[in-house]
Structures are given as C-alpha cells and as structure tokens.
C-alpha cells in the first residue's frame, strides 16, 4: 500500500512538472533533433551511432508518446507519436518494397540454402561452432576473415562434405572461403579500389546458373574508409545491375540495413534484402540491446527468399546468418521488372 502511494506521488509530480510550458519546448526540440539525426544520418561517429539505433528510438518514441498522453501532455505526445510514425516510414522505405510472403515451393531442384559466418566471431569455440554449422547443412557455406590461422582446420573439416570450394587467404580481414554442394563453374577474385571481391558461378540441380558475389567491407571509422566504401558500392552496384542471371550478394558490410549508403547501393544494384525484420534483444548479452546487424544477404529479381534467420549458438549468441532461396520462372522476372 505504501509503494502504491509513493508511485502515485511520483506520477502526480511528473504530471505537474510536464504542465510547465518551459519544459515542453526543449523536450520537443530534443525529440525532433534525434528524429532528424535518424533520417539524415550526419557523417559524424557520435551521430552515426544514434542513427544505427533507429529501431530502438522508434520504440522509445512510441512508449513516450503513450506515457505523455497518460500524463495529459498532448503536445509532447503528438510530437513523439508523429516522430515514431516518420521513423516507421523511413525504415519501411529502407526495406523491401514488397513484404508479401514467398510463394509455395514448386520445384525442389530450384531451391538452395546459404550460410555466412565471420571466423573472428566463432574462433573462441571453433570446433563447437563448426559442429553447429554442420547441423544446418547449408548447400553454400561462406566464411569471411579467412586467415592462415584458420585455413588448415577449415579445409580439413569441410574437404569431404562439399563437392567444390574456392578460397583466397589473406592476413587481413579480406580473406574468404566458399564451399559448395553444387558444381562451381567459374571462380574469380577482382579488386575494386584495392578491396578484393570474390565471385563464383554455380549450377543448381535444375540446371540454371547463379552468380554469387561476396565481399568484406571495412568499418567506416575513418574518412578514407568511408570514401572507399562509397566507391566500392558505386562500382559494385553498376556491375550487379547489369547481370542478366540470378545474383546473390553477401558479406559483412559493416553498415546497418537502413543506412542511406547501403539503401542507395541496394536500389542502384536492383537487389532485395533478405532480412525482412529486426528487433533489438536482451538475450544473454549486456550489449545485445544496442546490437544492429551489419551482415547481409541480398538477391536480385531472378530469385525469391523463402526464409532468412540469424544463427545462434548454444549460448544464444548470434554467430552468423542463413537464407533459403528459390529460382523463379522467367515470365515472373519480366513481370517484376515491369512493376
């Protein structure tokens, strides 16, 4: 009973404070400024960290909007709820235009699965995590940050599990290895502004050929890294947009899905995002609430994403991502292009 009285006193105090007009303007300005930061994404590290938490801020505005309404502060409530709606539209615009569920699989030979992992993420318990990956049985398995430290163990582990593979080993974060259950017809590694990009073409069971492009993008923590990322994404976008066959593009890009730079690249390249949703979590990590995904799998209009999910280890910590895709009929591709 005493606790209820104390809570009632706190609530009444808040309500009386919020009736003071001089508090309305600074609170309203703060909400509007943070919302603008999420939309405009100024190129400053501190402000970039704020825009990376757009999902959390959206939820915060919703909670505050309802709270202010209950506290009879309608002007602040309106500003918070409108800001919440604006951020919702912003995230919707940054996602796929169509959120319709994929069609029923009609041809098992036209579907395949892909997993992507960073070896630096799983290196502490590598043997255990590799066993977990084996249980997923992906038909295409991509490892990034493939350094000499992991080369012998990874190749020995997967040598007999996959029919084909390609690799390029680097001392830095750019190294990659791709294992495939399908025949790899072409393998190519090319440089864009000194950034290596790995490309393969493999043939699925129904005979059609798919192009897979994988690259690791350094975190945009310096001005030079940011400029390099823009130039790489610009050239890659033009290259992928010209493809007349199914394309999968994946990697650790170190940008969140709603970052304006990544959204521009995806639209320029005519790619779709496999990740349809993201919600912050408090699971087993003191920093997971502020975690935002920076690893992605994109696909073009020749393909359809059946399923996409993050891969968690036994400690409920994210270690990678997994996607399932199916090829679509040619007439559907042309219909989508016209739309």
pLDDT per residue over 31-44, tens digit each? 999 999 999 998 88
Maximal CA-CA distance, the chain: 75
Per-residue pLDDT at 266 exceeds 50:
yes
Q: What is the Cα–Cα distance from 254 to 215, expressed in whole angstroms?
A: 11
| CB 176, CB 214: distance < 8 Å | yes
State residue 317 phi and psi, 5-degree precision: -110, 135
Between residues 73 and 5, which one has the greater pLDDT?
A: 73
- 252 CB contacts (<8 Å, ≥6 apart)? 116, 118, 144, 145, 216, 217, 294, 295
Kindly list the distances between the CA atom of residue 26 and the CA atoms of 39, 58, 305, in Å, as whole numbers in the listed order.
20, 19, 45
Q: What is the Cα–Cα distance from 176 to 178, expressed in whole angstroms?
A: 7
Q: What is the Cα–Cα distance from 76 to 92, expressed in whole angstroms?
A: 24
Q: What is the pLDDT of residue 334?
A: 45
- What is the DSSP code string of 231-296? HHHHHHHHHHHT--S-EEEEEE-SS-TT-HHHHHHHHHTT-EES--------TT-TTGGG----EE
Going by pLDDT thresholds of 50, 70 and 90, the confidence category of residue 284 is very low
Q: What is the Cα–Cα distance from 302 to 332, expressed in whole angstroms?
A: 8
Continuous H helices in the chain: 2-18, 21-40, 45-51, 54-70, 74-94, 119-122, 126-136, 148-158, 223-241, 260-268, 330-338
- Could you report the per-residue pLDDT of 171-203, keeping only the tens digit for each? 888 889 999 999 999 999 888 888 899 999 999
Q: What is the pTM of this model?
A: 0.85
86: how many CB neighbours lie within 10 A of its CB?
A: 17
Q: What is the pLDDT of residue 331?
A: 46
Of the ranges 67-71, 90-94, 214-218, which one carries the lowest mean pLDDT score? 67-71
Going by pLDDT thresholds of 50, 70 and 90, the confidence category of residue 27 is confident
Q: Which CATH architecture has domain 108-338?
A: 4-Layer Sandwich (3.60)
The full set of domain ranges for the chain reads 2-94, 108-338
Kindly state the average pLDDT of the residues 234-252. Answer: 93
Going by pLDDT thresholds of 50, 70 and 90, the confidence category of residue 282 is low
Going by C-alpha positions, the residue among 249, 247, 259 that lies closest to residue 293 is 259
């Amino acid at each position: 009973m005493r606790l209820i009285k104390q809570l009632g006193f706190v609530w009444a105090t808040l309500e009386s404070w919020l009736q003071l007009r001089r508090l309305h303007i600074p609170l309203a300005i703060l909400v509007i400024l943070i919302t603008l930061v999420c939309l405009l994404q100024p190129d400053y590290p501190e402000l970039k960290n704020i825009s990376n938490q757009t999902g959390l801020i959206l939820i915060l505005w919703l909670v505050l909007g309802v709270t202010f309404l209950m506290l009879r502060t309608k002007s602040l409530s309106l500003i918070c709820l409108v800001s919440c709606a604006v951020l919702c539209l912003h995230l919707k615009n940054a996602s796929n235009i169509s959120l319709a569920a994929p069609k029923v699989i009609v041809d098992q030979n036209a579907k395949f699965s892909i997993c992507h992992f960073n070896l630096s993420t799983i290196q502490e318990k590598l043997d255990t995590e590799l066993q977990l990956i084996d249980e997923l049985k992906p038909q295409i398995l991509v490892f990034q940050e493939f350094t000499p430290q992991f080369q012998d163990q990874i190749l020995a582990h997967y040598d007999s599990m996959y029919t084909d593979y390609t690799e390029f080993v680097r001392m830095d974060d750019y190294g990659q290895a791709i294992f495939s259950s399908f025949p790899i017809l072409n393998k190519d590694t090319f440089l864009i502004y000194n950034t290596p990009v790995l490309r393969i073409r493999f043939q699925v069971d129904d005979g059609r050929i798919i192009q897979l492009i994988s690259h690791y993008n350094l975190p945009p923590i310096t001005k030079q890294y940011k400029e390099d990322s823009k130039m790489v994404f610009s050239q890659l976008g033009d290259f992928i947009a010209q493809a007349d066959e199914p394309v999968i593009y994946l990697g650790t890009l170190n940008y969140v899905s709603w970052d304006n730079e990544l959204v521009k690249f995806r639209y320029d390249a005519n790619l779709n995002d496999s990740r349809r949703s993201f919600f912050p979590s408090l699971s087993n990590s003191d920093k997971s609430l502020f975690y935002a995904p920076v690893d992605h799998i994109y696909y073009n209009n020749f393909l359809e994403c059946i399923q996409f999910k993050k891969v968690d280890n036994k400690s409920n910590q994210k270690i990678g991502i997994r996607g399932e895709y199916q090829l679509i009929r040619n007439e559907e591709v042309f219909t989508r292009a016209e739309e």
